[in-house]
Chain A
Amino acid sequence: DAGVIQSPRHEVTEMGQEVTLRCKPISGHDYLFWYRQTMMRGLELLIYFNNNVPIDDSGMPEDRFSAKMPNASFSTLKIQPSEPRDSAVYFCASSLGAGESYNEQFFGPGTRLTVL
């Protein structure tokens, strides 16, 4: 398996622009997670899905952020409008299921977002 695939790997945009980050989870995994990583706050969970349904979006910082999972093999995280404080590395992760034997999260390589 290719692992979790994220695109783009790097994104540089100007304040006010719309940004869309993409993720393809590992085939067969029922859970998908979006994280944001910064030096100040470490790894923050933004939202996670189970079987394409959003379960907990309490980590989404504000209405400018939205996430969708239209099918089991694709998810997007959108920021509109983007702001310089959104600059961070965004990770997507997936896991097979819940419970100790199934909940290992496999992370993608991340998208480094820079908002000028």
Chain B
Amino acid sequence: QQQVKQSPQSLIVQKGGISIINCAYENTAFDYFPWYQQFPGKGPALLIAIRPDVSEKKEGRFTISFNKSAKQFSLHIMDSQPGDSATYFCAATPTTTGNQFYFGTGTSLTVIP
């Protein structure tokens, strides 16, 4: 059973456009939501993370929007660049009861020049 559902599976965006990736979860014990970025041939690396006590977190061109009542969160990449082309994974973890990350299935983003 997939604990975190991620969509879309793939995304193609023009340079300068906005990329949006969505994730949803059911387990209310989750209290920490990181996003990981993976380039071809590399391991995933932490991009940005949020806790549910805030509705938005922004780091440069990357923003996480969080809707606690809907149990949904999303990654927005503003002014998307070809260098952003990668696979993005959302994840969730219950920090008070364990250290296991539940990853989404990933979104392959391609930014066209």
Contacts and interface: CB of A to CB of B under 8 A. Distances in A.
Interface residues on chain B, size class: 20 to 34
B89 interface: yes
Contacts of A99: 95
Interface string A89-116: 0010101011110011111111000000
Given A42-B89, A43-B103, A103 B95 contact: yes
Contacts of A67: none
Nearest to B43: A107
Interface string B62-80: 0000000000000000000
B44 to A, nearest CB: 5
A18 interface: no
Contacts of A48: 99-100
A110 B95 contact: no
B81 interface: no
A110 B34 contact: no
A60 interface: no
A60 B20 CA distance: 33
A4 interface: yes
Interface in A1-26: 4
Contacts of B104: 42
A30 to B, nearest CB: 9
Most buried by A among B44, B89, B99, B103: B99
Contact of A93 (B43, B49, B51, B95): B43
Contacts of A56: 98, 100
Contacts of B106: 42-43
Interface of A: 4, 31, 33, 41-43, 45, 48, 50, 55-56, 91, 93, 95, 97-100, 103-110
Interface of B: 32, 34, 41-46, 49, 51, 89, 93, 95, 98-106
